[in-house]
Amino acid sequence: MKNVFLTGTAGAGKSLLCATLLPWFADKGATVASVNLDPGAQNLPYEPDIDIRDFIDLSTVMQNYQLGPNGALILAADLVATRMNDIQEALDTINPDYAILDSPGQIELFAYRNSGPYIVDNLACDGKTVLFLFDSTLVSTPTNFVSIALLAASIQLRLKTSQINVLSRSDMLGPNLKKVLGWSSSAAKLEQALYEETKGSSYQLSSTLLRDLAKSGISYELIPVSSTTRDGMLDLSATITRQLSQGEEMED
Ligand SMILES: Nc1nc2c(ncn2[C@@H]2O[C@H](COP(=O)(O)OP(=O)(O)OP(=O)(O)O)[C@@H](O)[C@H]2O)c(=O)[nH]1
Ligand SMILES: [Mg+2]
């Protein structure tokens, strides 16, 4: 079984991408299971095979611990790790080729507390990758692009797992898609765009961070995908499969 974790800022399109990837993999003849790891999820665009909400109920957490909605979300996210054996057991029963795991909207609850890294690290699998979604609506300026690239690097630092960076909801960028992809594939283009945007005021900070990012070897080359038009799905699924088989070769 190979685990594919979907991460990204709130509303970046994780759940709809999960719903889109499931039939995509199934059509290719792979068996696939969906796992919802978000105890606070309200409406999911797919029917999860395994649902953390069956083990952790947000309103019970609020009542039992006398917490408001934010406090309950934090505690519920922490409690996810305590149900890892249940998730593992359910996954072992299904025993799919791929498990697609949808994470909570509040990325800090998943990546910056202990539960998310623990789950990523300890769920048994013979290959795993993290998809980090750059939300198209958050990367429309060069400075914003750099700030989300830093977040992507930070998630990689926390989850310590091979990561595929995706430009999600790419259809929402319209004519700006080409420009954003230009920044993602060329550090020189992005630096020039930063220079033109900031006119010196925050150029020093953003360009230094960008160069350090490049020096660290972390790639922010993005695969554009749209769950609405299905554009980019072929490229993304091929990248996931390649990444996971590379992991296998490295382990051999
Ligand atoms: N146009 C367009 N809208 C999208 C796409 N993917 C998701 N959306 C919409 O964006 C909104 C958020 O999508 P979700 O899939 O719920 O995003 P999420 O990251 O799971 O959100 P949280 O779990 O709440 O953080 C929904 O209204 C989706 O219909 C896409 O590729 N294109
Ligand atoms: Mg979601």
What CATH number is attached to the domain comprising 223?
3.40.50.300
Number of neighbouring beta carbons within 10 Å of residue 162: 15
- Closest-CA residue, ligand 1 atom 9, reads 13
CA of 169 to the centre of ligand 2 (A): 13
Residue 241 has pLDDT above 50, yes or no: yes
CA of 35 to the centre of ligand 1 (A): 17
Domain count, the chain: 1
Mutational test site, ligand 1, from 14, 15, 16, 46, max ligand atoms within 8 Å of CB: 16
What is the token pair recorded at 5? 């974790």
The structure's pTM equals 0.96
* Closest ligand 1 atom, residue 172 Cα: 1
Between the two ends of the chain, the Cα-to-Cα distance in Å is 16
Q: Which ligand is nearest to the CA of 16?
A: 1
Give the confidence band of 249 by pLDDT, cuts at 50, 70, 90: low
* Closest ligand 1 atom, residue 38 Cα: 23
In contact, 116 and 155? CB cutoff 8 Å: no
* Closest ligand 1 atom, residue 10 Cα: 25
Residue 251 has pLDDT above 60, yes or no: no
Identify the residues whose C-beta falls under 6 Å from ligand 1. 8, 10-16, 38, 105, 169, 171-172, 226-228
Average pLDDT taken over every residue of the chain: 94
Give the confidence band of 202 by pLDDT, cuts at 50, 70, 90: confident
Supply the pLDDT for residue 248: 59
- Domain hosting 60: range is 2-251
Task: Decide: helix, strand or coil at residue 24.
Answer: helix
Supply the pLDDT for residue 252: 43
Mutational test site, ligand 1, from 15, 53, 233, max ligand atoms within 8 Å of CB: 15
Based on the number of CB atoms within 10 Å of its own CB, is 116 exposed (0-12), middle (13-18) or buried (19 or more)?
buried
Q: Average the pLDDT over 81-91 and give the result.
A: 96
The beta strands (E) that lie in the chain are given as 2-8, 32-36, 50-51, 98-102, 128-135, 163-168, 223-224
Give the contacts of 22 (CB within 8 A, at least 6 positions apart): 32, 34, 46, 100
